[in-house]
Amino acid sequence: MKLAVVGGGSTYTPELVDGFARLREDLPLTELALVDPAAERLEPVAGMARRMLRAAGHPATVTATADVREGVAGAAVVLLQLRVGGQAAREVDETLPLRCGCVGQETTGVGGLAKALRTVPVVLDIAEVIAEHAPEAWIVDFTNPVGIVTRALLDAGHRAIGLCNVAIGLQRRFAAMLGVAPSRVSLGHAGLNHLTWVRSVRLDGTDVLPELIRRHGPEIAGEIGLPVELITRLGAVPSYYLRYFYAHDLVVEEQRTGPSRASEVAALERRLLELYASPSADAKPALLEKRGGAFYSEAAVALIASLLGDRSDTQVVNVRNGGVLPFLPDEAVVEVPARITASGAVPLPVAPVEPLYAGLVAHVSAYETLALEAALHGGRDRVAGALLAHPLVGQEHLARELTGLLLEANRPHLRWAEAR
């Protein structure tokens, strides 16, 4: 089985390769094709991938190319993990909004919109190449903002599923707290990508979330950056991305006084690429844990194995709503548990979402619709409208000012005329 990774020069890739090596019984991989236009990244990462597989006794070959057509041809699955503009664009996403008192984050708020504007057209171009050269391939999207990018792919008729590591990270964390195997734990996880709440944690079918909060509340709160009193009051565990909403002003002050995450990641990536370039390096370095993406490989292997093996198991993915959250349009993309078969992902019913959560989900989902329109069709007014609709912006003067700043900063990456 051939698997292609577009954005294969990412420093995340050895995390994937580690999972492929460890979980080879689940995924009969024969060829891993890494696709990336940046030779200075692709070459050391591909060399590292080859040594890792060889050290693990894995028979798969690793190919590396800048040509998307060559890389995806004949693939059963294509995984997208690209970053248009690199860490330099991320730096702007995280710092520009602070000038207007808005949170700076690469997937949420103003930064998330900028990333969508840059990314959606590029992803759709790649998807057309996949449709031509690997028409039966599944597209697994790990490219942020996952919800918007996945909807763009689905709206264009592609066989795509969005994937995020937040749910599997929480599942593994809760399993460790309970002292049980992760396979015994399932989450009542619902919302949008990077806007979710865990409202139940079932151990062998029994909800143990109240016990987890009672015994481990301070620890959970510390990991998501929110007060334990809030978690106790909600009786639910918000994604750590909810901190940008529930503690917006505090986060803005922290961001104004500390280094950006983009600058930290850029420094980490330089060190990681140096490690990957060493001829003796053949195991995932501990430093990669600081890069983020914990359990990314396990999530990817599980999803791919279920799609190709028709396992009919349950995984948390990004998929069409189809009435699961009745207050959203059917065509919206939601992040919920779904049944995974060879035919794709079918979202499973979730408990009715309380107004406290549903209102914010509906608000952000409406913004995502407008953000996708702006990414597809361009126009200053569409960008301003998306910002006006976002709950972390929402004021006309901010939307107007941020539109000008965003378009100017992203001009090299935007195709439509009004950005120039």
Residues that are catalytic: 241
Which residue in this structure is represented by tokens 């730096």?
A: 91
Identify the three-state secondary structure at position 203. Answer: strand
Phi, psi of 314 (to 5 degrees): -110, 130
Integer Cα distance of 273 and 43 in angstroms:
10
Q: Which helix (H) or strand (E) holds 46?
A: helix 39-55
Task: For residue 381, count CB atoms less than 10 angstroms from its CB and return exposed for 0-12, middle for 13-18, buried for 19 or more.
Answer: exposed
8 A C-beta contact, residue 111 and residue 262: no
How many other β-carbons are positioned within 10 Å of the β-carbon of residue 341? 15
How many other β-carbons are positioned within 10 Å of the β-carbon of residue 270? 12
Which token pair is 155? Answer: 């709206």
Integer Cα distance of 332 and 365 in angstroms:
7
Residues in the chain: 420
Phi, psi of 188 (to 5 degrees): -85, 75
DSSP state of 289: G
Number of H helices, E strands in the chain: 16, 13
Integer Cα distance of 185 and 205 in angstroms:
8
8 A C-beta contact, residue 111 and residue 139: no
Strand order, beta sheet including 160-162: 61-65, 31-35, 2-6, 77-80, 138-141, 160-162, 313-320, 333-341, 344-347
Phi, psi of 201 (to 5 degrees): -130, 110
Identify the three-state secondary structure at position 339. Answer: strand
Contacts by 42-46, CB closer than 8 A, 24 or more apart: 42/8, 42/9, 42/66, 44/273, 44/276, 44/277, 45/8, 45/9, 45/10, 45/11, 45/13, 45/14, 45/273, 45/276, 46/8, 46/9
